[in-house]
Amino acid sequence: MNELLTQTKSGEHDTFIRWTLNERVQHWILAISFILLVITGFALRYPDAWWVRPFTGIEWRFNLRGTIHRVAGGVFLTLGIYHIIWAMVTKRGRLLLKALKPRLKDYHDLRQNILYFFGKIKHSPRFEHFSYMEKIEYLALIWGAVIMGVTGLMLWFEELTLSIFPKWVIDLVTVIHFYEAWLATLAILVWHFYYVIFNPDVYPLNTSMIDGKITEKEMREEHFLEWQQLQKSFNQDNS
């Protein structure tokens, strides 16, 4: 029996609950805080950009930018701590972490996908609950969150940082924070947005992070091995 999915009915077709309400709330808190961090962070680096105008002209507006950035950063870090505890303490969290663990199959799936894209083989790889792409995205999120969190705190508490480290460390941290922000932003715009919006298979929007559901057709196409396992379990339960 698959403990990561709940099978339901939507009209005449089967649907599956892929994301719980808790996970969807985590996702949207992450998304909103990330967007606010990007806008208010780049507003400091690019003060003449057209989209920075709401924060310029009056001193309190620019001070508001800094306040929003720090509040969003605090929410981002708090969510990260909550997610770690949730993933370690809850059964659901532990199951998802186990499913996200990189395996040798992910390497073979990546290799097979490259061959498929270049027309060397006829069939794309078949995935379980998470594809290698989703695992890479999750690991990249963890990496980025750690880098941005540590460097962000060092910049937030600059006086404390300077009391411990020489000035060049702050300069280095500023550069790392800036370029990691660009890397994270491009990853979302190019990678994540493609898979949840512009991918022809889900366009105009993958709604699973809104209602938590995935259709049986989507299961067969995107997570065939998991769908196959579910069918075997269903047949065994009804035999």
Q: Average the pLDDT over each of 15-29, 59-73, 165-179 and give the range with the smallest value.
A: 59-73
- Look at phi and psi of residue 212 and say left if phi exceeds 0, alpha if psi is from -120 to 50, else beta: left
What does the pLDDT look like over 53-68, one tens digit per residue?
Answer: 888 777 778 889 999 9
Mean pLDDT of 232-238: 73
Confidence band of 170 (pLDDT split at 50, 70, 90): very high
What does the pLDDT look like over 88-111, one tens digit per residue?
Answer: 999 999 999 999 999 999 999 999
Helices and strands, number each (H, E), in the chain: 11, 3
Give percent above pLDDT 90 in the chain.
81
Give the domain ranges of the chain.
106-202
CB atoms within 10 A of CB 188: 18
| pLDDT at residue number 36 | 97
Q: Is the pLDDT of residue 142 over 90?
A: yes
Identity at 109, one-letter amino acid code: D
What does the pLDDT look like over 198-218, one tens digit per residue?
Answer: 999 899 999 999 999 999 999
Q: Is the pLDDT of residue 20 over 90?
A: yes
User: How much is the mean pLDDT over the chain?
Assistant: 93
Distance from C-alpha of 32 to C-alpha of 77, rounded to nearest angstrom: 13
Q: What is the pTM of this model?
A: 0.91
| Residues 6 or more apart in contact with residue 70 via CB below 8 angstroms | 156
Confidence band of 238 (pLDDT split at 50, 70, 90): low
CB atoms within 10 A of CB 15: 21
